[in-house]
Amino acid sequence: MSTNITEIGKLFLSSPRFAVVGASKDQNKFGTKVLKWYQVRDKTVTPVHPKESELEGLATVKTLADLESPAQTSVSIITPPKVTLGLLEQAKALDVPALWLQPGAEDESVISYIRENGLEDKVIYGGPCILVLGDGIIKSLL
């Protein structure tokens, strides 16, 4: 589990922009629930999806590199671990400020990558869900 969820959460949620990888047309999937969480809170959010052109009324981009300003965009990841690993590599190269891996998005190889690349102060992983902790962290920023 991330060492300091509150501190990383503050870093994550103080970004001016957000992206969600793992949202889909399926309203019951957590990726879509996370995307809607940002929308309800009037956050600037972009869904990242390789095939869909829009989700929940928002235009998508195909990759993290296609984001308008990746270095100012915190990224929520709701993907299988094999996909997550590639996303972490892209995020590191693009200087993404913070990432929140939703439960199930990581495995040992993902956690090893986070540790070996010095990303522990930028990545929330190991269980906490933004749908559970997000509002409390937002309040702490006010």
**pLDDT string in tens for the chain (142-residue length):** 555 888 999 999 999 999 999 999 999 999 999 999 999 999 999 999 999 999 999 999 999 999 999 999 999 999 999 999 999 999 999 999 999 999 999 999 999 999 999 999 999 998 888 999 999 999 998 8
pLDDT for the residue numbered 128: 82
Euclidean distance between CA atoms 104 and 67, whole angstroms: 24
* 123 φ, ψ (degrees, to nearest 5): -125, 125
Which domains does the chain possess?
Answer: 5-141 (3.40.50.720)
The one-letter amino acid code at 64 reads L
Query: Which one, of 93, 84, 91, lies nearest residue 112 by Cα?
Result: 84
Euclidean distance between CA atoms 39 and 122, whole angstroms: 23
pLDDT for the residue numbered 142: 82
H helical segments located in the chain:
5-13, 30-40, 81-94, 108-116, 130-141
* 21 φ, ψ (degrees, to nearest 5): -110, 120
pLDDT for the residue numbered 4: 81
Reported as type and span, the H/E element at residue 101 is: strand 99-101
pLDDT for the residue numbered 3: 54
Query: Which one, of 102, 89, 88, 106, lies nearest residue 134 by Cα?
Result: 102
Q: Which two tokens stand for residue 13?
A: 């949620």
pTM passes above 0.75 = yes
pLDDT for the residue numbered 134: 94
